[in-house]
A and B are shown apart, each in its own frame.
Chain A
Amino acid sequence: MKTTKSDQWSRADLELGARLALPVLPGLIAFALAVGAAAAAKGLSLLNSVLMNALVFAGASQLVALEVWPERLTIGAIAGLALVVATVNARILLITAALQPTFRDLPAWQLYPLLHITTDPAWLITMRAQRDGGSPLSIFLGASLVLVVAWMTASTAGYLFGALAGDPRRFGLDLVMPIFFATMLVPLWRGARKAIPWIAAGAVAVAVQQLFGGWYFVVAGAIAGCAIAGFIDDSD
């Protein structure tokens, strides 16, 4: 693994990160509109919707939580919502674990806010650009800035326009996130041997999804891929 300093700063890499985040925007905006519209449909105030989008900042989990949002928010119901959100977001454990070697030297006042804005696309973009020799912190911040601004703007617009967001499935917008993810596999390709864990991850995820449904399949698959990678010896 290449050693890169996490604290070096580069304006060019900040811009590179921002540019690499652009292909995610159509999907992210469609998704944010849906999350905002769902919050409005459940009767949350605009302020609460903005608060949720800023503080939780994890769209898939918010959409699921809003789907099961109870009429009466008892202590039990709130604990249930927190559990649902933790379940959907369990994969972020693995993401910040993977980022730890890159960002471990950051001072706490930078690290803790930075962890809050960690998202799947920002992480993937950072990992990929870092392999090409970029400054990970600058790329991460550049990508995250674009994602945060787009997310907050589009989710607020979605709240305000409510039902106008319509059904994202009609134009295939629900497939944008998996499309973006799949294209990111191409630059990550390092030969068939390194792809064995990916196949294991995909197979386990499909099996878990078919057997149990729910949201655990991403975590189950990713852990299976990691475990397999642990047993494949380095050939380089």
Chain B
Amino acid sequence: MIPIEPFDYGPVIAIFAMAAATYAMRAGGFWIMTHVPLTRRVSRMLAALPGSVIAATVLPIIARGGLAAVLAIGTAVLVMVVRRNDFLAVIAGMSVAAAARAAGL
């Protein structure tokens, strides 16, 4: 092995490798869509994507996170439906989350 002291390039190389992997994902999705014709079906699939990503992220967290997650997320959605104010909804949800965790849920 080549001695890498006093300056250690290892972390820098690792960071560049991680950055390249991440940028490949960011550019990759865009690149794929430049090669897929935007038919009605494809538009429909892309339109369903935001809600699908949210559902796929949030539901497993609720399933794992227990009652605190259910109460907090439920409260936030309810406030959003009633008031249509995302700031208020997030604050309400966070308050419930903090209270639920303080109560040991």
**Could you tell me if A172 and B45 are in contact, using CB atoms closer than 8 angstroms?**
no
Least CB distance, A190 to chain B, in whole angstroms:
9
How long is the Cα–Cα vector from A135 to B69 in the complex, in angstroms? 34
**How many residues on chain A are close to B (CB under 8 Å)?**
100
**Could you tell me if A1 and B47 are in contact, using CB atoms closer than 8 angstroms?**
yes
Stretch at the interface among A78-86, A137-145, A150-158: A78-86
List of B residues within 8 angstroms of A184 by Cβ = 50, 54, 86
The reply to whether the CB of A92 lies closer than 8 angstroms to some CB of chain B is yes
The reply to whether the CB of A163 lies closer than 8 angstroms to some CB of chain B is no
Give B97's nearest chain A residue, CB to CB.
A172
**How many residues on chain B are close to A (CB under 8 Å)?**
73
25 CB-based A-B contacts, threshold 8 Å:
A57-B22, A81-B17, A82-B20, A85-B21, A85-B22, A89-B25, A97-B49, A99-B30, A101-B33, A104-B34, A127-B50, A171-B101, A173-B94, A178-B62, A179-B93, A188-B51, A194-B47, A194-B48, A197-B48, A197-B51, A197-B52, A206-B59, A218-B53, A222-B53, A226-B52
**Could you tell me if A1 and B43 are in contact, using CB atoms closer than 8 angstroms?**
yes
List of B residues within 8 angstroms of A57 by Cβ = 22
Given known contacts A179-B97, A202-B59, is B47 in contact with A229 (CB within 8 Å)?
yes
**Could you tell me if B56 and A217 are in contact, using CB atoms closer than 8 angstroms?**
yes
How long is the Cα–Cα vector from A170 to B42 in the complex, in angstroms? 43
**Could you tell me if B60 and A206 are in contact, using CB atoms closer than 8 angstroms?**
yes
B55-82: CB near A (< 8 Å → 1, else 0) gives 1111111111100110011001101110
B47, B56, B61, B63 pick with most chain A CB within 10 angstroms: B56
Within 8 A of A (CB), among B80-103: 80-81, 84, 86-87, 89-90, 93-94, 96-101
**Could you tell me if A186 and B77 are in contact, using CB atoms closer than 8 angstroms?**
yes
**Could you tell me if B18 and A175 are in contact, using CB atoms closer than 8 angstroms?**
no
Within 8 A of B (CB), among A50-67: 51-52, 55-58, 61-62, 65
Within 8 A of B (CB), among A166-181: 169-173, 175-176, 178-181
List of B residues within 8 angstroms of A128 by Cβ = 50
List of A residues within 8 angstroms of B3 by Cβ = none
How long is the Cα–Cα vector from A104 to B29 in the complex, in angstroms? 12
How long is the Cα–Cα vector from A197 to B94 in the complex, in angstroms? 28
**Could you tell me if B19 and A56 are in contact, using CB atoms closer than 8 angstroms?**
yes
Given A92-B22, A202-B59: 12 more A-B contacts, CB < 8 Å: A72-B10, A82-B17, A97-B32, A172-B98, A181-B57, A182-B93, A187-B84, A209-B63, A221-B55, A224-B52, A225-B49, A234-B40
Give A53's nearest chain B residue, CB to CB.
B15
**Could you tell me if B13 and A26 are in contact, using CB atoms closer than 8 angstroms?**
no
